[in-house]
Structure 1
């Protein structure tokens, strides 16, 4: 049983039910007060005592992003309704548009008393989603013919972040569809956020745990097909370090699925070893046969790792494709996972890696400091005024 004696006490007036435990975002006044910065709470009290005024906030980020404001705006509008007031939102960059560093994403105008304590929570809902949308867009543009699956949930710090990241993947993906006709993100891992991808259910077939339970890759595939006989199947093939052997065994066991293009093989090789049949020399040889230009120029260590190194490299994907085609299973698809962020996707594109789908949570921002959104008041009762050095935020 959990020890209630070590559970932190809530501030006065805030019950445990009002804590933000990830099931929802704070929207009651007591919860907002508990989760916002104290100096904003005190500012609200001071302004309420000495006289309210109408202010305008400029909200911006210090790096280029893709605009993903929907969740923040939805929350802000809900807070306005709850408080019986109105906030005027001047969105300068519609959802999915590219936003330059330092450019105001939006201006928010309303009562200072009603807005002062909302700044912290509003900024939390803007920055991470915009950076993740930028990353997702970049990945989809670099690999426009690849279907992406948002496997971000396990990397998120709670359900609020999981919603932001799924939403961001959908926004970035949609921009890539508009710009280059990319396939983009076609689904995600959880039912709760599947609606962002036009689905009612999350996607996915089997984790490593099921392979371990079954005792063999082939047996796990048989169990899955028996349980879900009418669905396409994606079989994870790296558990026993026999990616080629187990892939061919599964294909031979289910030739009808293989011939119909309803069988996929997922490689998630750890970065501690090569895919079966590869070593440094063999990896270079595979790339030399299929995309020699990818290794002819200077490459950093990171780039070489993605191209010919350990784990799920471009060479690993090419090697698996060659072996499948040689055995007559050219309709079987390859799904790759393991560290597929913007830089790795760029290298996969340069190596023309024959991957059909990528499962990724690595569109999540890797440098969290880049996700910090900032807000400054730029107008008080209609008079432009901002701290020195931030004049670029004044509304034009």
Structure 2
């Protein structure tokens, strides 16, 4: 593990991925671009060369290179070659567009087949980390729960996205935000310093139970020592069902061990609200929010259908009026950066945000690029990429893995 990464990052990565085996040479050859395999064959024929790669991304990001480096070190160890790793931007730090994140120096015949796979593990992680960082800073007093797994194209993406959220979260915590407290799956929980994934009940359990209250009773019977988090939108009776659960378990409510989760879909308003009354709720609690110009998208998040700022305020108002001031509110459903910023502007009284919306939306922004910038110590790069030479390490072997 690279000594240039802080212990917190090293520990988090090791806890989640452990001594993961690298792919075999044959598997790497099958997954890389064909011209890298041909390059390997040509260099093997004409003579080995030590090369230095500079890796960068074309947009500003948060550096999240830990998984990539962990994998590279595993490959080097299993294949028996040395690679020097020079981290330019520390994990969790902001890096500008086009600035090198890391330099890698090693034998060309071994490094060439790895380029495709290294880039796969870097670009999307850095953009997702940046998104998670911005979301956490937008709502610094809220805790976040990473719920990206269901939106990922298989485990490799899930691992990268969960890791990225943890990196962005740690960066936000250094600036005073609560950040991400965990994730929804055991397999990536280690990234967040947890042993297990977090979560209580899906909508399916409520359908099985036949009522929201009965689902809460079932859950509490099986997990009596756990906090009780209840989805309240299944029957379209968010307020009614939330209050019913609180009245059924008044001690838990008073102890702050009950949370209601709002996940109302965008096709309807939360129970008790419509367009006019939604404006009224915000007028009562945060009038300045609604009195200035808003885009259509902002208005939807403020007073529209689904989990709006008005819906959150309405739930808080209803719980407080019934005496359940300690009951927490968890929100989910489309909480990306823009929605988080709108919730901040409206001072929405939410406690936890469940989201996978740190997954990059514009995938072409995630493309990482690698260029060789030195051959056997001689600096050389294609025209137009001379900027990569500015921070090239002079003695990379000092940091050999």
State TM-score, norm by structure 1. 0.92
- Matching of residue 323 in structure 1 with residue 313 in structure 2: no
| Alignment counterpart, residue 91 of structure 1, candidates 72, 87, 102 | 87
Equivalences for 1:28-107 in 2 at 5 Å?
A: 28-107=24-103
- Matching of residue 217 in structure 1 with residue 216 in structure 2: no
Q: Contact (CA 8 Å) 1:62, 1:373: kept in 2 or not?
A: yes
Q: Which has the higher contact order (CA 8 A, sep 6+)?
A: 2
Structure-1 separation of matches of 2:222 and 2:79: 51
For 2:3, the equivalent position in structure 1 comes to: none
For 1:19, the equivalent position in structure 2 comes to: none
The DSSP-based 3-state class of the residue aligned with 1:192 is coil
Structure-1 separation of matches of 2:345 and 2:269: 21
Q: Contact (CA 8 Å) 2:92, 2:170: kept in 1 or not?
A: yes
- Matching of residue 182 in structure 1 with residue 177 in structure 2: yes
For 1:3, the equivalent position in structure 2 comes to: none
For 2:165, the equivalent position in structure 1 comes to: 169
For 2:127, the equivalent position in structure 1 comes to: 131
Equivalences for 1:340-351 in 2 at 5 Å?
A: 340-351=335-346
For 1:339, the equivalent position in structure 2 comes to: 334
Q: Where does structure 2 lack aligned partners over 5 or more consecutive residues?
A: 1-19, 392-401
For 1:140, the equivalent position in structure 2 comes to: 136
Deviation at 1:31, TM superposition (A): 0.4
For 2:4, the equivalent position in structure 1 comes to: none
Deviations 1:342-393 (A, max 9, x none): 1110110010000000111111111111111110111111121111111111
For 1:309, the equivalent position in structure 2 comes to: 304
Structure-1 separation of matches of 2:298 and 2:46: 60
Structure-1 separation of matches of 2:131 and 2:193: 21
Deviation at 1:290, TM superposition (A): 1.2
Q: Contact (CA 8 Å) 2:22, 2:78: kept in 1 or not?
A: no
Q: Contact (CA 8 Å) 1:132, 1:363: kept in 2 or not?
A: yes
Deviations 1:288-331 (A, max 9, x none): 11112222222111111111111001110001000000111110
For 1:385, the equivalent position in structure 2 comes to: 380
The DSSP-based 3-state class of the residue aligned with 2:318 is helix
User: Are the structure 2 counterparts of residues 65 and 25 from structure 1 closer, same or farther at C-alpha, using a change threshold of 3 Å?
Assistant: farther
The DSSP-based 3-state class of the residue aligned with 1:89 is strand
- Matching of residue 108 in structure 1 with residue 104 in structure 2: yes
For 1:5, the equivalent position in structure 2 comes to: none
The DSSP-based 3-state class of the residue aligned with 1:76 is helix
Deviation at 1:71, TM superposition (A): 0.6
Deviations 1:137-170 (A, max 9, x none): 1111111110110111111111111111111111
Deviation at 1:83, TM superposition (A): 1.7
Deviation at 1:213, TM superposition (A): 0.5
Structure-2 separation of matches of 1:169 and 1:241: 32
- Matching of residue 226 in structure 1 with residue 216 in structure 2: no
Deviation at 1:25, TM superposition (A): 7.6
Deviation at 1:395, TM superposition (A): 3.5
Deviating runs (4+, > 3 A) in structure 1? none
The DSSP-based 3-state class of the residue aligned with 1:85 is coil
Structure-2 separation of matches of 1:346 and 1:182: 14
Q: Contact (CA 8 Å) 1:26, 1:32: kept in 2 or not?
A: no
Equivalences for 1:357-368 in 2 at 5 Å?
A: 357-368=352-363
- Matching of residue 283 in structure 1 with residue 278 in structure 2: yes
RMSD, aligned CA: 1.0
Deviation at 1:26, TM superposition (A): 5.5
Structure-2 separation of matches of 1:193 and 1:182: 21
For 2:397, the equivalent position in structure 1 comes to: none
Structure-1 separation of matches of 2:381 and 2:299: 48
Structure-1 separation of matches of 2:219 and 2:155: 28
